[in-house]
C-alpha cells in the first residue's frame, strides 16, 4: 500500500535505531507509528513500536546483529501493522564533513561526499552508509534525504568555529562543527514563535552537549571537531588536554585506534565510576555512599554549569535555560546540581517543581526561567524530509 502523505524517518545511534512513520495534518507532522530497536549487536535486543496515540502495539525480544538487521525488522513490523509505503525517507547523519552542511536530497554525489568524509567521523559515517544502502535496497525508487546534526551549527560565527591551529591544518576541514543539531532544532521549533533572545539548551544524554542560541540561531556549542569534545558524557572524555594523549602514546605506546577506544568508549561517566554510564544508577549509588559514583555525577553537573556560565558571557546574559535529552528530562538530581551553581545568573530552582517533573522548574520570581522540554529528533527529521521533498 502506498500513501502520498507517509514519511519514514530513521535515526540511528551507536547501539540503537529509532524510527517513525509520519503523516501530515493541518500543516503539522503527526505520528502514525514510532519505535526503537535497542541493544543492537548484543544477544538481548528488543524492538518496540507504538501507535500515534503512544500505545505500545509491538514489543518483541529479538537479536539485531547490525543496524541494517534492526531496520529490516522494524520495517517488517510496520508493514504488518498496516504502515503505508513511504513517499519519502529521511536519515539522520551525525557528520557530513566540511562539504555537507545542509539537509539535502540523497544523490550519488552526496553518497560519494559522505564516503570521502569518513575520516571525519569513522565511528558514525560507515554504519550510516550501510544503513542508507539497506534502505535503498528495500525501497528502490523512493526519494531519500539526509539531515546532518552539524547543519544547525553552520551559523556559528568564525570566532566560535575556528580552532587555534595553523591554517594548513584548518584548511583540511578541522574546525568546530557541533552536534545534536536536530535535537536543538526541535527545541527551537517548540519555542517558536516566542524564542528568547538569549537561550542556552543542554542536551544531556549518553551523548551530552550544550548550545548558545541568539534568537534561535547557534552562536556557540560545546562539542567540537567530533562528538568526543565538550563536556564529559556517558563514555566520552569531553575536552581533554592534548598532552594526555601524547603522554599515553609515549608511556603506553597507544596508537590511534587504542586512543579512539579509550576516549570514546571507556571514559566519561563510565571511566569515572569504573563501572556504569547510566545516570540513574550513578545517582542511586552516590546516594548510597559510593564515592566514585558521586564524583562522576559532580564532575558532570559542574561541567554543565561551567558551560552555561561561559555561554551567558557569550550572549551577554541569559533569558532562558532548557534541559533536554534522557538525563536532562529525567534526572532531578542533575538539574538540581547544575542550577545550584547558577544563582548568579538569576536561576532560582523550585525544588518541588523540579522533583515533580513539571515543565518550568524555577520559582515564579526567578529572573531566568528553566524549562524541561522533550527533544523530538524524529519529528524534526519528518519536517525536513517533507520540506525537501516538496522542493
Q: Using an 8 Å Cβ cutoff, are 274 and 265 in contact?
A: no
Q: How far apart are CA 118 and CA 194, in angstroms?
A: 38
Q: What is the CA radius of gyration of the chain?
A: 21
Closest CA to 160 of 324, 303, 311, 322: 311
Q: Using an 8 Å Cβ cutoff, are 153 and 177 in contact?
A: yes
Q: Is 245 helix (H, G, I), strand (E, B) or coil?
A: helix
Q: How many CB atoms lie within 10 A of CB 169?
A: 11
> Which of the residues 69, 149, 350, 376 is marked catalytic?
149
Contact residues for 197 (Cβ-Cβ < 8 A; gap 6+): 214, 215, 319
Q: Is 70 helix (H, G, I), strand (E, B) or coil?
A: helix
Q: How far apart are CA 122 and CA 129, in angstroms?
A: 11
Instruction: Cite the DSSP H helix spans in the chain.
Output: 67-80, 108-116, 125-138, 158-161, 167-170, 181-191, 242-251, 256-265, 268-273, 279-287, 291-315, 325-330, 332-339, 351-356, 377-390
Q: How far apart are CA 17 and CA 11, in angstroms?
A: 6
The phi and psi torsions of 267 (rounded to 5 degrees) equal -110, -150
The phi and psi torsions of 324 (rounded to 5 degrees) equal -145, 180
- Catalytic (active site) residue 149: yes
Instruction: Give the cell for residue 275.
Output: 563501572
Supply the residues annotated as catalytic.
149
Amino acid at each position: 500500500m502506498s500513501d502520498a502523505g507517509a514519511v519514514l524517518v530513521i535515526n540511528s545511534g551507536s547501539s540503537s535505531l529509532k524510527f517513525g512513520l509520519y503523516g501530515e495534518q493541518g500543516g503539522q507532522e503527526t505520528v502514525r507509528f514510532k519505535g526503537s530497536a535497542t541493544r543492537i549487536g548484543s544477544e538481548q535486543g528488543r524492538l518496540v513500536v507504538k501507535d500515534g496515540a503512544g500505545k505500545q502495539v509491538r514489543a518483541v525480544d529479538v537479536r539485531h546483529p547490525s543496524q541494517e538487521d534492526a531496520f529490516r525488522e522494524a520495517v517488517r513490523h510496520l508493514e504488518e501493522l498496516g504502515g503505508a509505503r513511504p513517499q519519502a525517507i529521511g536519515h539522520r547523519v551525525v557528520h557530513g564533513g566540511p562539504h555537507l552542511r545542509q539537509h539535502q536530497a540523497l544523490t550519488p554525489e552526496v553518497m560519494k561526499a559522505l564516503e570521502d568524509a569518513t575520516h571525519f567521523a569513522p565511528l558514525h559515517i560507515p554504519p550510516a552508509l550501510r544503513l542508507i544502502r539497506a534502505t535503498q535496497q528495500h525501497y528502490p525508487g523512493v526519494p531519500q534525504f539526509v539531515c546532518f546534526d552539524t547543519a544547525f551549527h553552520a551559523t556559528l560565527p568564525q570566532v566560535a568555529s575556528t580552532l587555534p591551529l595553523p591554517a594548513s591544518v584548518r584548511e583540511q576541514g578541522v574546525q568546530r562543527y557541533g552536534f545534536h543539531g536536530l535535537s536543538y532544532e526541535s527545541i527551537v521549533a517548540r519555542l517558536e514563535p516566542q524564542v528568547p533572545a538569549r537561550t542556552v539548551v543542554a542536551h544531556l544524554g549518553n551523548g551530552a552537549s550544550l548550545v548558545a542560541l541568539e534568537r534561535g540561531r547557534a552562536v556557540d556549542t560545546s562539542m567540537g571537531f567530533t562528538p568526543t569534545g565538550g563536556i564529559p558524557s556517558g563514555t566520552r572524555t569531553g575536552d581533554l588536554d592534548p598532552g594526555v594523549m601524547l603522554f599515553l602514546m609515549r608511556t603506553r605506546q597507544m596508537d590511534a585506534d587504542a586512543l579512539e577506544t579509550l576516549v570514546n568508549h571507556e571514559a566519561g561517566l563510565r571511566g569515572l565510576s569504573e563501572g556504569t554510564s547510566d545516570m540513574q544508577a550513578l545517582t542511586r549509588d552516590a546516594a548510597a555512599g559510593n564515592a566514585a559514583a558521586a564524583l562522576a555525577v559532580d564532575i558532570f553537573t559542574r561541567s554543565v554549569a561551567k558551560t552555561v556560565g561561559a555561554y551567558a558571557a557569550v550572549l551577554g546574559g541569559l533569558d532562558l535555560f532548557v534541559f533536554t535529552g534522557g538525563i536532562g528530562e529525567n534526572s532531578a538530581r542533575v538539574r538540581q546540581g547544575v542550577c545550584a551553581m547558577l544563582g548568579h545568573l538569576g536561576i532560582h530552582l523550585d525544588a518541588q517543581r523540579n522533583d515533580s517533573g513539571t515543565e518550568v522548574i524555577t520559582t515564579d520570581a526567578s529572573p531566568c526561567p528553566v524549562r524541561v522540554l522533550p527533544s523530538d529528533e524524529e519529528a524534526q527529521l519528518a519536517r525536513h524530509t517533507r520540506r525537501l521533498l516538496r522542493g
